[in-house]
Amino acid sequence: MSLFRRLPHLLHTLWLSLKLKRSTSETEQKQLQTQLAEKLAQGRGLPMKVGQIIAGMNDDHALQSLTQSVEPWSKQRIIPILEQAWGKPWTDVLQQLDSSQAAASLGQVHHAILKAGEEVAIKVQYPDIAQAVQAELSMAGMIPKAGPVKRWNFDMNAYKAHLKRNMNQELDYMHEMQTQQMFHQQTQVQGLHIPKIIPDLCRQNILVQGWVLGVRLAVVAKDWNKLQRLQVAKTLMQTMFQSLFQHGLVHGDPHPGNYLFEATIPQPTVHLLDFGSTIEVQETPRKALLQLILTSRGEMHIDPLQGFVALGFDAIKLQGIEAKLPALMQIIFRPFITDTPFDLSAWHPAQEVETMLGQDKWLFRAAGPADLFLLMRTFQGLTQQLTLLQSQLPWFPLLKQALGEDYLQAVKQQHIVQAIELPETHGSATALHVVVEQAGKPHIHFTLPAASALNLSSLIPESVQPVIQQQHIDIQAIEQSLQAQGLEPSTLLDIQDDEKRYYLYLE
């Protein structure tokens, strides 16, 4: 489907989202939520994926239908796809193919029985979905910087590139097959089960794996006893810890449809499904994260700024809040600091970070690497799972158990962080102030490290570019002058358009 054929649907979806956000009537909100769920489901692809992210782990969410199932295609529409992929009649491969009960954003799943008698799940990708997703990604590429994204110089190109790469991986079922096999080999956690792949029947648009049965997390939370819930929670947590810190390959799509739970004895089984969205974390950032946790506990010491930079953060942006990083770590890593079961209901990191940093919270977020938001989503998924299960667990003891004492001791001895190489600057200025006035009154005022002035062009809103051109202001020449002459207190820009005044100065 072309971009122009998708455009009206996507614009209507956006309009519903904005209308829902502004609505103050509970009745209207419920109606809009139903309409939005229907619109997202009809769009499948990227819109439905967004809806699943919004719904999160909660099966009671207004968009919960997107995490369970939407109307699947009939078996008659799916059979030609299978036969084209396998190059033979489906009856040569299967003795039974059932209608789908589970449609998702990119495809749908069918229960089937192979000729040899083995029960399998066959995931079939919708024929036009790859083209549709590419059209939607093209639209995402058109999204301009605005609000805090522009104000704090988020690297939106990097975010869009990660989104595109992640979606392209989800569309390649052969990549998913290989990832699932690798995850199965590497991650050994008690109670975890990864379905067996049938490689000979997998294609780029077809994935075949062993069939599993189980209930969803909401049923576990409602009907299972406390011990069973604790065992499930422990399996989920240790799966996250081991896959992240030891292997650097994390399941990246924690919505409820990707988990099934079976009340086996003596240990409940967690069936982990759908490895289309995974996150690869390189050795340096994952061990830097572990060293930051150990530093927060007082078990080792690394410089917080160097630790965050090794994790992928931008050093120049972090300089402005360097003194607050130790306290910030105590908030972010609080579940790991105690050895006793941690009560997630008493932990509100977003609010606490905002209280500590104020508007500088955007500076901290903008300094983070683009791929970090995917990892944060998986951690958020884990905390939602634990909250739903009403299970309090000792995070660090379970981390130690998942990784092993020898592994932790080895990480403590490794020199992961390196001395930070900042741009060579000189001058007495310590801060860059960016002020926007509207109708003669201050509208925005934020502060960045003085070295940010060396990349002045990134701080200029797109709407001001025409004014700069009309006034023949050479931003590149200003940057070169600052590099050559030093960062001294001075006014760098003072631009007035029809509505606003943009005033940038070094102090």
Flag whether pLDDT at 149 surpasses 50.
Answer: no
Give the mean model confidence (pLDDT) for residues 139-165.
49
Using a 10 angstrom Cβ sphere, with 0-12 exposed, 13-18 middle and 19 or more buried, the burial of residue 109 is buried
Q: How far apart are CA 238 and CA 236, in angstroms?
A: 6
pLDDT number for residue 409: 94
The first and second tokens of residue 438, run together, are 């509207």
pLDDT number for residue 130: 66
Tell how far CA 229 is from the center of its chain: 26
Give the mean model confidence (pLDDT) for residues 98-111.
85
Flag whether pLDDT at 158 surpasses 70.
Answer: no
Flag whether pLDDT at 58 surpasses 60.
Answer: no
Domains belonging to the chain, first-starting first, are 3-67 (no CATH), 75-279 (1.10.510), 281-413 (no CATH), 431-506 (no CATH)
Rounded to whole angstroms, the maximal C-alpha distance in the chain is 79
Flag whether pLDDT at 60 surpasses 90.
Answer: no
Q: How far apart are CA 241 and CA 191, in angstroms?
A: 14
Query: Could you give the strand order of the β-sheet that contains 441-449, starting from the edge strand earlier in sequence?
Result: 441-449, 431-438, 500-506, 490-496
Most confident segment among 103-107, 176-180, 318-322, 421-425: 176-180
DSSP helix/strand/coil, 320:
coil
Q: How far apart are CA 326 and CA 119, in angstroms?
A: 53
DSSP helix/strand/coil, 315:
helix
Short-list 436, 432, 481, 415, CA closest to 319: 432
Q: Are 492 and 483 in contact (CB under 8 A)?
A: no
Q: Computed from CA positions of residues 204, 210, 211, 213, in that sequence, does the dihedral angle turn out positive or negative?
A: negative
Q: Are 340 and 126 in contact (CB under 8 A)?
A: no
Short-list 488, 492, 471, CA closest to 428: 488
Separation of first and last alpha carbons in the chain: 53
Which position has the higher pLDDT, 270 or 462? 270
Q: Are 55 and 66 in contact (CB under 8 A)?
A: yes
C-alpha distances out from residue 285 to 244, 248, 282, 312, 373, Å: 10, 9, 6, 7, 14
Which position has the higher pLDDT, 362 or 480? 480
Give the mean model confidence (pLDDT) for residues 214-227.
96
Q: How far apart are CA 329 and CA 364, in angstroms?
A: 12
Flag whether pLDDT at 233 surpasses 50.
Answer: yes
The DSSP output letter for 143 is P
Based on its alpha-carbon atoms, the radius of gyration of the chain, rounded to whole angstroms, reads 26
Q: What is the DSSP string of 17-70?
A: HHHHHH---HHHHHHHHHHHHHHHHHH-HHHHHHHHHHHTT-TTSTTTHHHH-B
Reported as half-sphere exposure (CB side, CA atoms, 13 A), residue 417 has a value of 22
Give the mean model confidence (pLDDT) for residues 9-35.
61
Q: Computed from CA positions of residues 387, 393, 399, 402, in that sequence, does the dihedral angle turn out positive or negative?
A: negative
Using a 10 angstrom Cβ sphere, with 0-12 exposed, 13-18 middle and 19 or more buried, the burial of residue 266 is exposed
| pLDDT tens figures, 62-80 | 445 444 445 788 999 999 9
pTM reported for the whole predicted model:
0.74
Q: Indicate the pLDDT class of residue 204, thresholds 50, 70 and 90.
A: very high
Tell how far CA 324 is from the center of its chain: 25
Q: Which of 35-39, 57-61, 331-335 has the lowest mean pLDDT?
A: 57-61
Q: Which residues pair with 501 in a beta bridge?
A: 437, 496
Average pLDDT of the chain?
A: 82
Q: Indicate the pLDDT class of residue 250, thresholds 50, 70 and 90.
A: very high
| pLDDT tens figures, 73-100 | 899 999 999 999 999 999 999 999 999 9
- Strands 269-272, 192-193: pairing kind: parallel
DSSP helix/strand/coil, 64:
coil
